[in-house]
Amino acid sequence: MKAFILERYGKKGSVRLGEMPEPELHDDEVVVQVHAAGVNPLDFKIRSGDFKLILPYRLPLILGHDVAGVVVRVGPRVQQFKPGDEVYSRPDDFRIGAFAEFIAIKETSLAIKPKALTMEEAASIPLVGLTAWQALIEKANLKPGQKVFIQAGSGGVGAFAIQLAKHLGAFVATTTSTANVDWVKRLGADIVIDYKKDDFENILHGYDVVLNSQDSETLAKSLSVLKPGGKLISISGPPDPAFGEEIRAPWFVKSIMRLLSFGIRRKANRHKVSFSFLFMKANGAQLREITALIDSGAIHPVVDRIFPFESTRESMEYVESGRAKGKVVVRMR
């Protein structure tokens, strides 16, 4: 099958179009013919080797963490899906590979595609939707009336998280560039800070939750936004000891994580708030909850650009440039 293959860690030129064997089907998996695949910062971060400690992949590797398509085969233990079903998923770590004609996905990581969405729209949802769900619902336990600061409101995660937080009844603040202020307001944000003109730490105070997706400097500044007892949740690092335990990392990796997060954990303690790192996990049950929200009209996909499959490498470069407003998708067929 045709696929975009990472043969060595590196920058832009290290992913190429080539031929790979069709995926092996395990008993608890389905094979999906890929119609569209979402492109995420995680793809170019893995390509560059930034996640080798957390995700020690064996190369060659097919990238791609978001998929929408049609089931073509099912394993003998699969009960919920059949050939012909239109589905979408964020495949499990070490079973990724959406930038290809076919992919094998665990039944427990799969959901029926929202009926009203195109394949391209559906492929834009799983990773950002599950990230927002696991941050705001699982970790933050966000309640109606609470205040949440979601950074980078025009990004893929930010655009989804704003809509989810508003559905949960929260008061939402976010940041974006001058050109996107009105657009982000239409997503539902109550306060939109133009980061080119203002510093959020001088404006926001007394928040219950911060969802951080930016650099270490922004992470540290976010502490001042929170009230005592607040929660700082970061999807951009640094990984903390709890995450090391969660993934059963070797002792030396846990030690590195403890050192990397020591500074921000100490600062968080001084501010009497909690810090946690989130690396989202595949979850078909949560994806079905997200499907219900999409079908009800509570959340809408935000797709910036659709690239043809042959331009997958260019689509990754576009996401890496930081110019995307919402999600970028690759169309297979």
Question: Are the CB atoms for 38 and 129 separated by under 8 Å?
Answer: no
Which neighbouring-strand residues pair with 174? 150, 192
Tokens 């690759």 sit on residue: 330
Phi and psi at 323, nearest 5°, equal -90, -10
- Does the pLDDT of residue 53 top 90, yes or no? no
pLDDT score, position 305: 97
Which one, of 138, 114, 137, 136, lies nearest residue 125 by Cα?
114
pLDDT in tens, 139-179: 999 999 999 999 999 999 999 999 999 999 999 999 999 99
pLDDT, mean over the chain? 96
User: Rounded to whole angstroms, how far apart are CA atoms 278 and 212?
Assistant: 10
- In percent, the amount of the chain with pLDDT more than 70 equals 99
- Does the pLDDT of residue 295 top 80, yes or no? yes
Strand ranges across the sheet with 2-6: 15-19, 2-6, 61-62
Distances (CA, A) of 249 to 51, 61, 293: 13, 21, 35
Which secondary-structure segment (H or E) carries 255?
helix 251-270
Write down how long the chain is: 333
User: Rounded to whole angstroms, how far apart are CA atoms 105 and 159?
Assistant: 26
Number of Cβ within a 10 Å radius of residue 284: 22
Tokens 């797709």 sit on residue: 303
As given in the structure block, the two tokens for residue 285 are 């049950």
Question: Are the CB atoms for 3 and 20 separated by under 8 Å?
Answer: yes
pLDDT score, position 265: 97
Amino acid at 142: L
User: Rounded to whole angstroms, how far apart are CA atoms 93 and 170?
Assistant: 31
DSSP 3-state of 39: strand
Torsion of CA 106, 109, 249, 9, to 10 degrees: 80
As given in the structure block, the two tokens for residue 232 are 């700082």
User: Rounded to whole angstroms, how far apart are CA atoms 168 and 171?
Assistant: 9
pLDDT score, position 194: 97
- Does the pLDDT of residue 285 top 80, yes or no? yes
Q: Which domains does the chain have, with CATH numbers?
A: 2-124+302-331 (3.90.180.10), 128-277 (3.40.50.720)
pLDDT in tens, 216-246: 999 999 999 999 999 999 999 899 999 999 9
pLDDT score, position 180: 95
pLDDT score, position 333: 77
pLDDT score, position 124: 98
pLDDT mean over 106-115: 98
pLDDT in tens, 313-332: 999 999 999 889 999 999 99
pLDDT mean over 262-288: 97
- Does the pLDDT of residue 54 top 90, yes or no? no
pLDDT score, position 254: 92
pLDDT mean over 169-194: 97
Q: At 14, is the pLDDT very low, low, confident or very high (cuts 50, 70, 90)?
A: confident
As given in the structure block, the two tokens for residue 9 are 């860690």
User: Rounded to whole angstroms, how far apart are CA atoms 142 and 321?
Assistant: 32
pLDDT in tens, 24-45: 999 999 999 999 999 999 999 9
User: Rounded to whole angstroms, how far apart are CA atoms 218 and 209?
Assistant: 15
Parallel, antiparallel or unpaired: strands 327-331 and 29-39: antiparallel
User: Rounded to whole angstroms, how far apart are CA atoms 18 and 79?
Assistant: 33
Question: Are the CB atoms for 65 and 30 separated by under 8 Å?
Answer: no
User: Rounded to whole angstroms, how far apart are CA atoms 333 and 119?
Assistant: 10
pLDDT score, position 173: 98
Amino acid at 331: R
Which secondary-structure segment (H or E) carries 194?
strand 191-194
Which neighbouring-strand residues pair with 308? 331
